[in-house]
Amino acid sequence: MSIGYRLVWLPFWLWVAVLLPVSLLHAQPLARIVLALYDGDSASDIRATAVHRLAEMPLNHLGLVVRYHDINSPLPSLKEMEDVRGVLVWEAAGMEDPREFIRWSEMLMDSGRQMVMISGFGSGEEISGGRYKEEINGFWKRLGLHSESDWVPFTYRTEIVYRDPRLVDFERRVGGVLPGYERMRVIKGRGYSGLSVRQRGDRPSGTSDLVVVTDSGGWIASDYAYYHNEATDTLLWYVNPFEFFSRALKLDDLPRPDTTTLAGRRIFFSHIDGDGWNNFTEIHPYRHRGILSAEVVKRKIIEAYPDLPVTVAPIAGDLDSAWHGSEKSMQVAREIFALPQVEAGVHTYSHPFDWGFFADGDQDRERPFLGLYAKPWGEPESLLKVESGGHDYYRETGFEVPRAYAVKPFDLELETRGAIEFVNSLLPPGKRVQIYQWSGDTNPFPEAIAAVRSSGVRNINGGDSRLDRKYPSYGWVSPLGRMVEGELQVYASNSNENIYTDQWSEQFFGYRHLIRTLKNTETPLRIKPMGIYYHMYSGEKLSSLNAVLANLEFARSQPIIPVTTSHYAAIVEGFYSTRIERAGELRWRIGNRQALQTVRFDRALFLAVDMVRSRGVVGQHHYQGSLYVALDSAVPEAVVVLRRREESAVEPSASLSYLVESAWQVWGVRHGSGRMWFETAGFGEGEMLWKVPRAGSYVINMHGGSGATESLTVVVPDDGRLRFAIRARTPMERVRVEVEYRQERI
């Protein structure tokens, strides 16, 4: 074999030896799971855990998915944790015998996964005199900390000797009466402390580090993560959870799948639960005329905002005349659903208040309550003794009865598929129920979520986020949803008016405060889309009606992209399924993302999308220090390639046209010589802003569903910003757009 012949094979062998292993390595998806260990003995529902209440939202924002595991069950093997980036243990390590956990944790850290502990293995006497001291100290050492096995119970002599404002003093400055703490120090060279304290008079060696990031994870001393005052219902983070988790879990390399943004704009969606459908309104001039609240909502809200989609979800029992409905209530439903911007949803059949009550399928459990229902499904055998809402069940749950209506025994099939089919029967041709809106405590059991999913619709509700003057903390902002036994419950992105009116009991104007939450969840971080979620009973009172209208006006005044509620739920589902692979330096493959079409890069002022090398990227938008990359829904696996840039004050230059922001969804983007084609659809007017390579005249041809073509010419100034709007049409009518560069501007 001649040398020349052998050289022919050189590239192949080079590929086998070098590039193949590298490419295989890169084929590994970036781990996005945080395994949260919780103590199932003290918190049977993950909703009650600190991780779910406080940590999961920041983790979601950072692009991570939380998977819960009861620390009392056997810990998962490494093989079962291939997709796990790190473990978070918060208020769960106070176990009787921690040795198994410690062995497992050390194995985990040795495998390169991060371990984040908030609070320790106990407090007070448990620390200084506790058993397994050696093992516990070994654990801390592996994490990068040295434990003195000592607890400082009283802190009046304690002074703060170092605080890093990037990590602590986030929503509240650490101070006042400091909580007791375990004496712990970062091992030199292993980590960094953002909060250090010392007893007055102690030597520097007596310093304790209380908020720590190490090479293997992080630690926050018990009670130093956040402040809580039960009496005033005040909760405020001491620690900046975004910064802390980002550092402790080493997230700099992870693009964040983003559920707040689409086509460069903040997502808007709105949904209505059917409660109060049949209530007669008290608003003049409809008062005393037998006008239903639902009719008022239809006339005053839905019809008044044809540019804003809304999902309407009646309670089937409110419409079904065999239950508590009437022909009139059904007629109102038909009229509402006939409106083109209305998406059909359903808000159960019988409106369970307490979903857990029905989880075991024992219908007889409801018998004691039958006397409290208007149309009970059976003869009340023994009436529950009710003394003005004072029975045990009420005291325990806050509910008089487990559900609103009990015309039939609880039947999960009727409650889910039955309700969907009932509402489907009221819909105009071409429309189907798209989403199921949870009722009551919004705490459905896994079988209920599964039943909804198997009915082919998405689900939403729960969460009750607030971020306003009354609840001025990210601690009151909920995560994206709740994953329970493999079933996903998508949370609404904001609280509804029921919360703002103290269970619809007072300050009926209160829902106006939603605007504060909408603003605060937009700036300085966009952590939630704009969700306006209310009930049909808002049509009952002028105060509440005005409040909803004020919120909608605010939404209209903002640069938003309106979508249906089921679309938002699909985006959240996409968040959980998205698979990200690193394909090289500043290069990622984003796949399996379903409806999620935005990835975000934080601290990205000096980064921009390399549009030429990327695939399936529609556009980019720098906002509040982050780079929002709009992906093309027509490309199942997008490749995002970034480049570094020198300047941060202006939009990145465009060698290839890209979308900056749009009120409509944009997909199927193709580029040609001096031309560009894409498809688009949305609600209201489709205003959009593109960045194009050259100034000059651009002709925009639009082909809508009617077949007619409309054209307009736009002159693009030197900044390369091509701004135009597509006139409003039937919601979500698909429009094909061709943008053609005609001439250079003189």
The residue ranges that bind other proteins (CB under 8 A) are 125, 128-129, 153-157, 172-173, 175-178, 229, 231-232, 234, 282-284, 287, 468-470, 506-510, 512-513, 516, 542-543, 546-547, 550
Q: Which is nearer to other proteins, 247 or 512 (CB)?
A: 512
Q: Which is nearer to other proteins, 169 or 679 (CB)?
A: 169
Smallest separation, CB 549 to other proteins (Å): 9
Q: Tell how far CA 360 is from the center of its chain.
A: 29
CB distance 267 to 574 below 8 Å: no
Q: Which is nearer to other proteins, 125 or 647 (CB)?
A: 125
Smallest separation, CB 206 to other proteins (Å): 15
d(CA 721, CA 651): 9
CB distance 541 to 505 below 8 Å: no
Smallest separation, CB 129 to other proteins (Å): 5
Residue closest to 72 by CA, chosen among 102, 93, 50, 103:
93
Smallest separation, CB 260 to other proteins (Å): 24
At 604, list the tokens.
């990205």
Contacts of range 328-332, beta carbons closer than 8 Å, 24 or more positions apart? 328/292, 329/277, 329/278, 329/292, 329/294, 330/426, 332/277, 332/292, 332/294, 332/295, 332/298
Listing DSSP states for 631-678 in one string gives EPTT-SSEEEEEEE-S--SSPPP-SS-EEEEESSEEEEEEEETTEEEE
Smallest separation, CB 125 to other proteins (Å): 5
Q: Which is nearer to other proteins, 67 or 133 (CB)?
A: 133
CB distance 687 to 725 below 8 Å: yes
Q: Which is nearer to other proteins, 520 or 633 (CB)?
A: 520
Strand ranges in 132-224 using DSSP code E only, listed in sequence order: 145-152, 158-163, 181-186, 191-199, 208-214, 217-220
Angle between helices 99-110 and 133-143 (to 10 degrees): 20
Q: Which is nearer to other proteins, 203 or 469 (CB)?
A: 469
Q: Which is nearer to other proteins, 150 or 647 (CB)?
A: 150
Q: What are phi and psi of 132, to 5 degrees?
A: 55, 30
The length of the chain is: 746
Smallest separation, CB 543 to other proteins (Å): 4
Q: Which is nearer to other proteins, 21 or 129 (CB)?
A: 129
Smallest separation, CB 287 to other proteins (Å): 6
Q: What are phi and psi of 493, to 5 degrees?
A: -85, -15
At 303, list the tokens.
């019809």
Q: Which is nearer to other proteins, 235 or 639 (CB)?
A: 235
Smallest separation, CB 271 to other proteins (Å): 22
Q: Is 196 left (phi over 0), alpha (psi -120 to 50) or beta?
A: beta
Q: Say how many C-beta atoms besides its own lie within 10 A of residue 58's C-beta.
A: 23
| Residue in the structure block whose two tokens are 């921009």 | 608
Omega cis (within 30) before 285? yes
Smallest separation, CB 229 to other proteins (Å): 5
Smallest separation, CB 444 to other proteins (Å): 32
Q: Tell how far CA 352 is from the center of its chain.
A: 24
CB distance 216 to 108 below 8 Å: no
d(CA 606, CA 608): 7
Smallest separation, CB 300 to other proteins (Å): 14
Q: Where does residue 521 rank: exposed (0-12), middle (13-18), buried (19+ CB within 10 A)?
A: buried
Smallest separation, CB 147 to other proteins (Å): 17
Smallest separation, CB 295 to other proteins (Å): 17
Q: Where does residue 36 rank: exposed (0-12), middle (13-18), buried (19+ CB within 10 A)?
A: buried
Q: Which is nearer to other proteins, 93 or 152 (CB)?
A: 152
Run of H or E including 6: helix 3-8
SS3 assignment, position 259: coil
The residues, any chain, with a CB within 8 Å of residue 60's CB and separated by 6 or more, are 66, 259, 479, 480, 575
Q: Which is nearer to other proteins, 82 or 125 (CB)?
A: 125
CB distance 124 to 153 below 8 Å: yes
Smallest separation, CB 496 to other proteins (Å): 17
Smallest separation, CB 236 to other proteins (Å): 8
Q: Tell how far CA 63 is from the center of its chain.
A: 10
Q: Which is nearer to other proteins, 176 or 430 (CB)?
A: 176
| Residue in the structure block whose two tokens are 């250079």 | 744
Smallest separation, CB 506 to other proteins (Å): 8
Using the 8-state DSSP alphabet, how is residue 542 labeled? Answer: H
Q: Which is nearer to other proteins, 542 or 695 (CB)?
A: 542
Q: Which is nearer to other proteins, 304 or 374 (CB)?
A: 304
Q: Which is nearer to other proteins, 558 or 709 (CB)?
A: 558
Q: Which is nearer to other proteins, 517 or 657 (CB)?
A: 517
Q: Say how many C-beta atoms besides its own lie within 10 A of residue 263's C-beta.
A: 27
Run of H or E including 22: helix 20-26
At 325, list the tokens.
């409905």
